Amino acid sequence: MTWTEDAENEQGNEETEEATEPEAVEPEAEKPAEEPAAEETPAAEEPAAEEPTAEETSDEPAAEEAPAEEPAAEEAPAEEPAAEDKPAEKPAADAAKKDVVPGADLEPIAIGEERELTAEERAAREAEEEERAAREAAAAADDDDEEIAPRTVTVPADTNIQATGKRKSAVARIIVRAGNGDFQINDRGIDEYFKSSQHQALARQPLVTAGYEGSVDVKVRVHGGGISGQAGAVRHGVARALTSLEPELRGDLKKRGMLTRDDRRKERKKAGLKKARKRPQFSKR
């Protein structure tokens, strides 16, 4: 290699270095140009950031009002002691309720002493009882079955019919003769022997039903049992006597239960019981 070639190579290298140096410097020159763009972006973004400030200003009163409400929130703790006192008051109220006797606030009912009835009041009460008994007897007589149509009955003068009636432990001997309606029981009138109108109606029921009430005389001998049982025995015996006098009456009297021997009676008392079936009150302890 010659000296000229070396010189040319050095010149070529210098030229290449000069050509490359501007390229390296150019980015430094371009950087300041880019910085304004970077600076512009914050400037452009600042209005957007400033706009919320206007909204923040509008929200500031609401934020300022919140502190105004804080005293109300601060007052709530002041009321908490009252809430804490309530549990203490409830047990006291429950204890007071337990101590109160049920019905203590009610006024007692004043019960006056029973006084003895005067003679007039007793008579009025007895009259009411008789009327009630008469109504019961009438209700018993008014059955659903049709009654025998009223008719005129002729009884032979020599009629003398005997019959026996029973009810409970009472026994009645009946004698029926032709007559005008006299009714004797143990040599006493029926009104005298049976004080109750219900018993009187019960004894006369067969005669009234058959239409023989004013055509025959009835004489009765009865013993045993009580008044009610004796009245039932007389009714049974008179019905039997009438069927002997006129057999056609058997169907009507049987249909009304006058010919049936009623064997019902009081059930005897059992040992350990108060009555036939009534038990003493049960005590667990």
pLDDT of residue 28: 46
Residues of the chain where predicted confidence (pLDDT) is lower than 50: 19-85, 87, 144-145
44 vs 110: CA distance, rounded Å: 101
pLDDT of residue 76: 44
DSSP the chain: --HHHHHHHHHHHHHHHHHHHHHHHHHHHHHHHHHHHHHHHHHHHHHHHHHHHHHHHHHHHHHHHHHHHHHHHHHHHHHHHHHHHHHHHHHHHHHHHHHSPTTTTSPPPP-PPP-PPPHHHHHHHHHHHHHHHHHHHHHHH--SSPPPPP------TT-EEEEEEEETTEEEEEEEEESSS-EEETTEEHHHH--SHHHHHHHHHHHHHHT-TTTEEEEEEEESS-HHHHHHHHHHHHHHHHHHH-GGGHHHHHHTTSSS-----PPPPPTTSSSSSPPPPP---
pLDDT of residue 112: 66
Domains for the chain: give ranges and CATH numbers: 156-255 (3.30.230.10)
116 vs 272: CA distance, rounded Å: 37
